[in-house]
């Protein structure tokens, strides 16, 4: 029998690891609780009615349709038995492996803030993005029939974290409020709606240059986003956000974009973890004392040449996935593995119409783009990496429609089921105080 490689997770790292093993003399089995890959950088566009759910997801089996040594199984991994080299899935079944790649990704980190998971909205899955969109649109429907509720914070949208996700979400939501929803709700004074961006530091887009930060702040403020620096959340409640200074903001919509932590699976594996719950790895991304097992993406505490932890971003995950696939090939050929070296290409974000920022790394010249060119570069790069020709075409058409018509047609209130099987509609009724 040929060696079996099990890959846990169908994210950026898992997909690229599997692709790197194409035509290798191994059998690849990928496990994920969903049967699709989600292009997470565009989840905020689903949440703000810019793209359809199906535009940013693709069935895993379709992606690997032409890879003969690949198989997929929809399953939730709960543990790994290192002694027997078996992966344990929900229900108790064990799956044996010769090599293991753990790439289960990350969840949002609540940093110990009470109520975040219970009452906040996050952007790590299609379900979360679609339900956030439905929730926000429902707020306007309620305001239309009960305008007196606006005074209670019904149309206050609070975003925590002014990193790329928070900035992009704030900009997209501001444009939705300014250019699209007034056509749907002419009876509402949408100037009463507020977008409040909370940031615990004194800067937006903290890793970027001062010039880019200043530009981003100016664009957001021109979009009427209320940015509050040096503001820390103490507690999230169903109808308000309590701040560390004792004040509170009335809201029923808190969007948490304040950072991530490794998937909870990592805590079950008996590994040494860092403060962000990432597993410590060897320079080749293998686990200590386990040369047959690799940890990649958001779960790995990998470091760069200077000894600094690599960021939990898609570009790192993609390169790490490719790397470990190649290392398994080397092990199969009796060769020694190579150290992982991250090639930093830079960072980019989109703030609004014709307003994007892109900072290329020194490896690529160190150019900084702001405004239309940054916006255009962002569109181009995301189209390249978005999987599937149909998805690329759909996204391009949606963006063109949005750009030329100043409209977004994905404004349906449709609640999706959570991973636990409960529809968020029931939670929404409870949140709004109405019966199903």
Q: Residue 207 has what pLDDT?
A: 86
Which residue is it, tokens 């948490």?
256
Taking the CA atoms of residue 107, residue 388, residue 102 and residue 348 in that order, the dihedral angle to the nearest 10 degrees is -50
Domains defined along the chain, listed by start:
4-33+75-108+261-332 (3.50.50.60), 117-258+346-432 (3.50.50.100)
User: Measuring CA to CA, which residue among 241, 245, 248 is closest to residue 119?
Assistant: 241
Could you tell me where the beta strands, DSSP code E, fall in 257-367? 260-262, 286-287, 290-295, 346-352, 355-360
Q: What's the pLDDT at 365?
A: 84
Mind listing the pLDDT tens digit of every residue in the chain (436 residues)?
A: 899 999 999 999 999 999 999 999 999 999 999 999 999 999 999 999 999 999 999 999 999 999 999 999 999 999 999 999 999 999 989 999 999 999 999 999 999 999 999 999 999 999 999 999 999 999 999 999 999 999 999 999 999 999 999 999 999 999 999 999 999 999 999 999 999 999 999 999 998 999 999 999 999 999 999 999 999 999 999 999 999 999 999 999 999 999 899 999 999 999 999 988 999 999 999 999 999 999 999 999 999 988 999 999 999 999 999 999 999 999 999 999 999 999 999 999 999 999 999 999 888 888 899 999 999 999 999 999 999 999 999 999 999 999 999 998 788 888 765 544 444 434 443 444 333 2
Integer Cα distance of 160 and 119 in angstroms: 13
Pairing assessment for the beta strands 156-160 and 286-287 based on DSSP bridges: unpaired
Q: Which of 52, 168, 175, 398 is catalytic?
A: 168
Distance from C-alpha of 99 to C-alpha of 330, rounded to nearest angstrom: 12
What pLDDT does 23 receive? 95
Strand positions, DSSP E, 179-322: 194-198, 225-228, 233-237, 240-243, 248-250, 253-256, 260-262, 286-287, 290-295
CA distance 267 to 272: 9
Distance CA 355, CA 378 (A): 10
Per-residue HEC secondary structure of 121-163 comes to ECCCCHHHHHHHHHHHHHHHHHHHHCHHHHHHCCCEEEEECCC
List strands edge to edge, sheet with 346-352: 346-352, 355-360, 368-371
State the pLDDT at residue 420.
46
Q: Among 196, 162, 205, 204, which Cα is nearest to 177's?
A: 196
Distance between CA atoms of 101 and 28, rounded to whole angstroms? 10
Residue 168 appears among annotated catalytic residues = yes
Residue 220 backbone dihedrals phi, psi, to 5 degrees:
-65, -40
CA 321 to chain centre: 17
- Return the pLDDT at 431: 42
Quick one: which H or E segment has residue 99? strand 99-102
Per DSSP, what are the bridge partners of residue 225?
195
């Amino acid at each position: 029998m040929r060696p079996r490689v099990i890959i846990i997770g169908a994210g950026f790292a898992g997909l690229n690891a599997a692709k790197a093993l194409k035509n290798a003399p191994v059998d690849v089995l990928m496990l994920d609780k969903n049967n699709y890959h989600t292009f997470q950088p565009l989840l905020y566009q689903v949440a703000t009615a810019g793209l359809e759910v199906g535009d940013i997801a693709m069935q895993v089996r379709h992606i690997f349709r032409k890879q003969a040594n690949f198989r997929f199984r929809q399953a939730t991994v709960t543990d790994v038995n290192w002694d027997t080299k078996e992966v344990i899935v929900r229900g108790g079944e064990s799956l044996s492996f010769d090599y293991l790649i753990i790439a289960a990704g990350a969840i949002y980190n609540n940093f110990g803030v009470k109520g975040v998971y219970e009452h906040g909205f996050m952007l790590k899955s299609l379900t979360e993005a679609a339900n956030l969109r439905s929730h926000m649109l429902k707020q306007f429907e309620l305001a239309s029939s009960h305008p007196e509720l606006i005074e209670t914070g019904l149309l206050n949208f609070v975003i925590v974290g002014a990193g790329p996700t928070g900035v992009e979400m704030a900009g997209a939501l501001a444009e939705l409020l300014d250019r699209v929803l007034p056509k749907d709700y002419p009876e509402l004074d949408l100037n009463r709606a507020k977008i409040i961006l909370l940031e615990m530091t004194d800067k937006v887009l903290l890793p970027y240059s001062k010039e880019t930060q200043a530009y981003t702040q100016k664009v957001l403020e021109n979009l009427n986003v209320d940015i509050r620096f040096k503001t820390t959340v103490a507690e999230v409640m169903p109808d308000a956000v309590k701040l560390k200074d004792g004040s509170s903001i009335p809201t029923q919509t808190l969007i948490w974009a304040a950072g991530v932590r490794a998937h909870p699976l990592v805590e079950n594996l008996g590994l040494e973890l860092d403060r962000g719950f990432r597993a410590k790895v060897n320079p080749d991304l293998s686990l200590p004392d386990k040369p047959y097992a690799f940890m990649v993406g958001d779960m790995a505490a990998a470091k760069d040449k200077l000894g600094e932890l690599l960021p939990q971003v898609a570009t790192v995950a993609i390169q790490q996935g490719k790397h470990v696939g190649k290392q398994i090939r080397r092990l199969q050929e009796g060769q020694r593995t190579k150290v992982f070296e991250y090639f930093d290409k830079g960072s980019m974000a989109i703030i609004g119409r014709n307003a994007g920022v892109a900072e290329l790394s020194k490896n690529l010249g160190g150019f900084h783009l702001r405004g239309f060119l940054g916006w255009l570069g962002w569109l181009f790069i995301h189209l390249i990496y978005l999987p599937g020709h149909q998805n690329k075409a759909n996204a391009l058409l949606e963006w063109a429609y949005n750009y030329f018509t100043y409209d977004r047609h994905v404004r349906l209130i449709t609640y999706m089921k959570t991973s636990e099987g409960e529809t968020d509609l029931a939670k929404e009724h409870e949140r709004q105080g109405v019966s199903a």
